[in-house]
Amino acid sequence: MHTPDELCGTLVGGRYRVVERLGEGGMGIVYLALHEAIEKKIALKVLRLEFSIKPDLVTRFQQEAISASRIKHPGVLDVFDFGRLDNGCFFIAMELLEGRDLADELEKRRVVSPERATRIAIQICRALAAAHSQGVVHRDLKPENVYLHVTADGEELVKIVDFGIAQLRSTE
């Protein structure tokens, strides 16, 4: 269910118009936003104010943006901006995904065909290989962090999300 709040309608970072709340987790809220200059729908993840005043959590949030943006692979959520709101909260701008996470899919279907499971597993492995080649170790891979994105033409693509506790290593 989409819940309106005080951020809806505001302009974030001078370019993202917040449209509606899409969901929330323990540390942040995810919004649908529109990049006004290019009329592109994006997802905007905003770190809650109580966490935005804790330097270690801000560092972790920024690390999530750095980790995901470093990889540049179709199987990893594309993160393209990091900034701070006027109220002090930090945000990450990222691609908007359509679909559901693997945990929700497994709960709904209970059984996944071997062919589909194989396609999903191969995509996860390729995305993780790309991350590892860039020195990024996810460290929190679970069904909730595997998103089954459905493209405009109906193709199902795996997107690895939530690099909040990822470890960055040298690529050498």
Q: Which residues are catalytic?
A: 140
Cβ neighbours for 169, distance < 8 A, ≥ 6 positions apart = 135, 136, 137
- What lies within 8 Å, CB to CB, of 32 at 6+ separation is 18, 19, 20, 21, 22, 41, 42, 43, 44, 96
Q: Among 164, 167, 169, 171, which residue's Cα sits nearest to residue 62?
A: 164
Q: Is 125 helix (H, G, I), strand (E, B) or coil?
A: helix
* Sign of the Cα pseudo-torsion (41, 83, 161, 172, in order): positive
